[in-house]
Amino acid sequence: MTHAASPALSQDELKTLVGQAALDYVNEGDIVGVGTGSTVNRFIDALAGIKSRIRGAVSSSEASTARLAALGIAVFDANAVDELPVYIDGADEIDGHGHMVKGGGAALTREKIVAALACRFVCIADESKLVPVLGRFPLPVEVIPMAAHRIARQFAALGGHAALRHKDGAPLVTDNGQHILDVAGLSISDPLAFESQVNQWPGVVTVGVFAHQKASVCLLGTAQGVRTLRF
Ligand code: 5RP
């Protein structure tokens, strides 16, 4: 299937294009891993068009679960499956090796759990997300609230500046009841080592670097159409 674009397409239209293109990675009878965010919302809308041909989805957030359910797509608990053929999700950044920064929508922990269940991670993104080195987008890190200050100081020692994410005037509370630090000023040249290092800090629930759970494929929305990157 070809998914051509015209130069006039907006960022929203590019999201729709890659959301539809991701259907090529869904097979009859699948339970599909579904991410979170505005690009994934376009994918969920497209998935609704073939819902009678799939078994359902495992969702990475309350928001995606609500959208899937509203469209009549069955949502399975992650504990009900041994593995998933495919996980489809957006990214805040992706590099030329398929390493990503995720968590702009605060769903990074469940996203990493569902990604770990999947044989293949298909990232859907517009071309503004492709970067040479991760770190331009402030890195989301889900933390246990009592550890936030100490973790912020550990990032400062690496040259980062961590800020507690707020929503409606109060610290944002994730689907898991925790907080998010957004860390600006990092340049993540070795994403695998960086992810492993931060994972060991007490109180870190999930770091938004997806190097151990990197993309296998990225469908990138460009003015010329969908560009497929394989890693
Ligand atoms: C949510 C995520 C999203 O995938 C990421 O923020 C990209 O979102 P969008 O498609 O809205 O740009 O990681 O936690």
Say what the pLDDT of residue 1 is. Answer: 45
Instruction: Name the residue at shortest CA distance from atom 8 of ligand 1.
Output: 37
Lowest mean pLDDT among 72-76, 90-94, 221-225: 221-225
Domain with CATH 3.30.70.260 in the chain: 139-208
Q: Is 93 touching ligand 1 by the criterion CB < 6 Å?
A: no
Instruction: Name the residue at shortest CA distance from atom 4 of ligand 1.
Output: 90
Instruction: State whether CATH 3.40.50.1360 applies to domain 3-131+212-230.
Output: yes
Tell me the CA–centroid distance for residue 150 and ligand 1, in Å. Answer: 26
Say what the pLDDT of residue 148 is. Answer: 98
To test ligand 1's pocket by mutation, which of 60, 61, 102, 205 has the most ligand atoms within 8 angstroms of CB? Answer: 102
Please give the share of the chain, as a percent, with pLDDT higher than 70: 97
Q: What tens digit of pLDDT does each residue of 15-66 get?
A: 999 999 999 999 999 999 999 999 999 999 999 999 999 999 999 999 999 9
Give the pLDDT band of residue 4 (cuts 50, 70, 90): low
pLDDT over threshold 70, residue 2: no
Say what the pLDDT of residue 6 is. Answer: 56
Task: Give catalytic residue positions.
Answer: 111
Average pLDDT over residues 88-109: 98
Residue 74 makes CB contacts below 8 A (sequence gap 6+) with 55, 56, 57
Q: What tens digit of pLDDT does each residue of 105-140 get?
A: 999 999 999 999 999 999 999 999 999 999 999 999
Q: What's the fold here for domain 139-208? A: Alpha-Beta Plaits (3.30.70)
pLDDT over threshold 80, residue 71: yes
Nearest to 47 by CA among 68, 76, 61: 68
Tell me the CA–centroid distance for residue 29 and ligand 1, in Å. Answer: 26
Domain with CATH 3.40.50.1360 in the chain: 3-131+212-230
Q: What is the mean pLDDT of the chain?
A: 96
Q: What tens digit of pLDDT does each residue of 176-192 get?
A: 999 999 999 999 999 99
Tell me the CA–centroid distance for residue 90 and ligand 1, in Å. Answer: 5
List b or e across 158-179, with b for residues whose CB sees 16 or more CB atoms inside 10 angstroms.
Answer: eebebeebeeeeeeeebbeebb
Q: Are 34 and 68 in contact (CB under 8 A)?
A: yes
